[in-house]
Structure 1
Amino acid sequence: MKKVLLALSLVANIGLAKEKVVVLHAGSLAVPFSDMEKAFEAKYPQYDVVREAAGSRACARKITDIHKPADVMASAAYKVIDNLLIPNYAKFNVHFVTNEMAIAYTPKSKYANEINEKNWTDIFLREGVKVGHSNPNMDPCGYRSILVTKIAEKYYKQDGFYNKLMGYGESYENGEERKEKVIVRPKETDLLGLIEAGVYDYLYIYKSVAEQHGLKYIVLPPEVSLQDKKFSDSYKGATFKITGKKPGSYITKKGSAMVYGITVVENEKEGLPKNREGAVKFVNFVLSPEGQDIMKRNGQGVITPPVITGDASILGR
């Protein structure tokens, strides 16, 4: 009798086993996607969403270079999906939300009571002031930080601002940083604990992330913040080289309005994704009115209707 009961128990447990949906996503999506996970699992209790946050390019590299099993990829820059995943690892790209760059700080930051949207470039160059940004080769927030610095130099008519602050030249080689002025980490969310601990003073970060973590922040002019397509012509005047698909190759990034992308990961040769049905349901949930409300509550603009490139027929769109 005990053996029969044990067998029945095992069968019941197997029946209750949930299917995993593996989601790799940008660090800046950690908070909204945590909310998304809970809401999705409440609606679809047969699934267990397993999330992993990293820089968007780092996420893509995990898929392309080490063939990490994944079902969904969400990037803080839609072009990461276009450049690194399509056509071999994804068939479509959905532009679904927007954001903007801001300058975050804490009460511990030097000149915190003085800084504003007009004088931040002057304060950044003051002796003893340290600034943080993420690695441009791993995270779109990193190269956007550099592009914003270049745009700001022109907008504020402050000659030499970029070189005085960062001095990377045309590309960020070998992960070097100007230790007297700049702190660099793989993704922008890696820098949050350091600024809160007073290791450095100011952080280039997405406005939504600053809001989510209760940081003080400077709202940059739309001509600088990469928020508004209206200023696309001036944005694209700033350029920076990041590493490409192959070692020794580069991609030139141009300033542009910030647009996030999401896709279902697939590679027929490697048998990815593991859970295609769950992946499709998750992406459609993100794009649903409920998913859009979650993004709005977390400080991100929503693209309605979403812009889809490629073959997204599996989404029923």
Structure 2
Amino acid sequence: MAKNEFDIINHYFAHQQQQRDDVVLAIGDDCALVDVPANYHVAISTDSLVAGTHFLVDADPAFVAYKALASNISDLAAMGATPAWVSLALTLPTIDEAWLAPFCHSFFELANRYNIQLIGGDTTKGPLSITLTVQGLVPRGQALTRSGAQVGDDVYVTGNLGDSAAGLALILNQSQCDQRLTKVLVERHFKAHPRVNVGEALRGIASAALDISDGVIADVKHIGERSQVAIEVDVEKLPLSAELLAFCDGDCQQAQQLALTSGEEYELCFTASKANRDALKMALAHTNVKYSCIGQVIAGRGLLLLQLGKPVSWKLSGWDHFVVTNK
């Protein structure tokens, strides 16, 4: 039974994985040591999940672990990086082994799926929160950024949009659905699929990219701002799942609005030249990931929503931790 911080580390986190060849020193010292291949950059991202903000205190710890790691892996995917290492800072109110066991099982299951090794971190006492720093490798000069979109480029997203928001509404009991639909949408909220293979395939093809964590309506603006262009999105082209449409009782406009504003989707949004359409199709064919063209890059600044070729004046916003929104 774990009695202190070091018991937790030794029992739940140390010696849980095979060591990667590029890890020189992992858990147990003041720092980890890793080897970086020649002609590669290290991509680094840090995110926190806080109980009461990103998940309910009584949420399934297996889902919490998956969501925490998957959301960070998605950041690497958005840069075209291949995941390699992760550090975990875990703050717990008490040593709760009934919570830690499923959390760690889910965490390491996902980490092993993407060949990510836990190389360090920290455990402390306090309000429940999880902070991860993930690191990945990307060939020099091939990282995807938000700043390369050009006027005339197409705008794409992977997967479907809106399911995460629907799942969250069901978790918060804001809506009622049949048991099967509820299970599907709740799982999609917690268990996104990081598009690492898509990010790797987009190197040299996409002009800009990011992952959808705050809603496509908010995140696509970041590409526009960094690239100094405007983005035009055709709401009729937004990819909607059958489950989302069922959740909305067939109300297509409601589903489109959820697709625009749903945060924590962790799909990729990217731009690419029309000249690269065939290359894009070939590059993504092996990924088995659906992707959809939802608009184009235009001159100017800001975001323009179109429906049947006409501007839409919906007052919508994405997720912001410090602002009350429609989410």
Comparing both chains, which one has the higher relative contact order based on Cα–Cα distances under 8 Å and sequence gaps of 6 or more? 1
**Coarse TM-score class (shorter-chain normalised):** under 0.3
Structure number with larger C-alpha Rg: 1
* Length-normalised TM-score, structure 2: 0.25
